[in-house]
A and B are shown apart, each in its own frame.
Chain A
Amino acid sequence: MPKMVLACTLNGEETELLVQPYATLLEALRETAGLTGAKEGCGTGDCGACTVQMDGQPVASCLVLAMQARGRTVRTVEGLASVDGSLHPVQAAFVKHGVPQCGFCIPGMIMSASALLEANPAPSEAEIRLGIAGNLCRCTGYTKMVAAITEASTVQTAGKGV
């Protein structure tokens, strides 16, 4: 099967990846682009460990054919920090609160949370819980996650002078 050229904007850079027609976006990111932040948990869209943002929206990258990302903007956890290396408010809050336990769900969780704050800069606790409802943490570390996302929303809105 001839490979195909996937042209997209990946973490802010115009990128061309050579992918199999039957590769998922998750496989292209991990195995072709070498970005192993997004994880494969279930492979069927139930766990959220593979969450990346496509055109700013969180998606389960295990359910996207790589070529379906053609012409689109893809952001993974590797592309979340600023170019100068300073962490995204969600990342900083996850570090401060010591959120990760085993860590497997964290990249997906952070991509969902950062997309949530982009759409809703000051979410309620219920909105935060709904925003990460598609991400499963088998360590069940949700309490600290909600606290960290709440703090990140405060930092983010304060930073923007809202």
Chain B
Amino acid sequence: MQRFELALPSTVSDCLSALSGSGDVNMVAGGTDLLPQMKNGLVKPARVVDLSGIPDLKVLETDADGALHIGAAVSAHTVELSDVVRAGFLGVAEGAGVIGSYQVRNLATVGGNVCNAAPSADVSPPLVAMDALIVIAGPNGRRTVPIADFFLGVRRTALQPGEMMVEIVVPAPGTGSGGTYLRHTPRRELDIAVVGVGTQLTIQDGRCTRARVALGAVAPVIVRATEAEAKLEGAEITPALLDEAAALAVKSATPISDQRGSAEYRLHLVRVLTRRTLQTAFERATGRSASRNGAH
């Protein structure tokens, strides 16, 4: 690995100071993405700032409004197993639970998975489906960006030089809401999503009041399947409607063909995975099943 200086701040303000110096600087939290990039020379920072020793970035809790706060340096493993996360934010736990391997999830952070801005990041679709907010600290104070506006392109985010993610805030989904994340990979562990879908549905008196379908690995950024969402919102959920919405989700995907799958295969996966996530989200929102073979 190329040589670099290492800063070990213990507060956010010390961290911002360490980020403000001259030369290429990278932050490291879990290191599971940065270290391979440094080892193969894709990233050559003069200075690396370690986030793992900053207690304020290790917060994982809900606030008085029920919103979930995930500090930037909380590991995927911690999020995956957290009772607080699983109780109201199960899709996020499911996304965190399929990153890398056991050894990687103990290091990798949910914040890092978001900040790397890979289109295939597993935590991002469920966070987009829950309208998560990214809290950013910088030389001019703090600002909050909706996660949908945080992603600018492949590995490009709204973070400016000298800025850092402090935490992710996921608003409380409210009653009658359920969500899930599902991806397709040839292997269960140590693989990268061919397509990933995060879905969150809110059902009140049998009608869908809020629908979010977020697609991963089918565009440079996570995209919302807006036509599918519009089809669902305001409607009574039936198996046929879920079929229609899944077919509409394909319209929002603009995948490439690469070694993980052809564009055609990805479009097929968007429909299949969207249908499955809608089913699961509905069941979790209502405690009922929307069976394909009969009235729900």
Residues of A within 8 A of B (CB): 1, 4, 20-22, 24, 43-46, 48, 51, 54, 57-60, 62-65, 67-68, 70-71, 112, 130-131, 133-135
- Say yes or no: B102 contacts A131, CB within 8 Å: yes
Number of B residues with CB within 8 Å of any CB on chain A: 29
- Say yes or no: A134 contacts B1, CB within 8 Å: no
Residues 23-61 of B contacting A (Cβ, < 8 Å): 28, 30-32, 35-36, 39, 48, 50, 52-53
Docked CA distance A59–B31 (Å):
11
B106 touches which of A20, A57, A130 (Cβ 8 Å): A57
B39 touches which of A1, A20, A44 (Cβ 8 Å): A44
- Say yes or no: A134 contacts B36, CB within 8 Å: no
Docked CA distance A89–B54 (Å):
37
- Say yes or no: B8 contacts A70, CB within 8 Å: yes
Docked CA distance A21–B8 (Å):
10
Q: A24-B1, A134-B189 are in contact. Are A44 and B106 (CB under 8 A)?
A: no
| In the complex, chain A residues whose CB is within 8 Å of the CB of B251 | none
- Say yes or no: A68 contacts B35, CB within 8 Å: no
- Say yes or no: B4 contacts A45, CB within 8 Å: no
> Is B152's beta carbon under 8 Å from chain A?
no
- Say yes or no: B102 contacts A65, CB within 8 Å: no
| A50: nearest chain-B partner, CB-CB | B103
With both chains docked as a complex, state the minimum distance between the C-beta of A23 and any C-beta of chain B, in angstroms.
8
| In the complex, chain B residues whose CB is within 8 Å of the CB of A46 | 101, 190
> Is B12's beta carbon under 8 Å from chain A?
no
- Say yes or no: A22 contacts B106, CB within 8 Å: no
Of B2, B6, B30, B101, chain A has the most CB atoms within 10 Å of the CB of B101
| In the complex, chain B residues whose CB is within 8 Å of the CB of A4 | 6
Of B31, B36, B53, chain A has the most CB atoms within 10 Å of the CB of B31
| In the complex, chain A residues whose CB is within 8 Å of the CB of B4 | 1, 21-22
- Say yes or no: A130 contacts B188, CB within 8 Å: yes
Docked CA distance A68–B112 (Å):
16
A70 touches which of B53, B102, B104 (Cβ 8 Å): B53
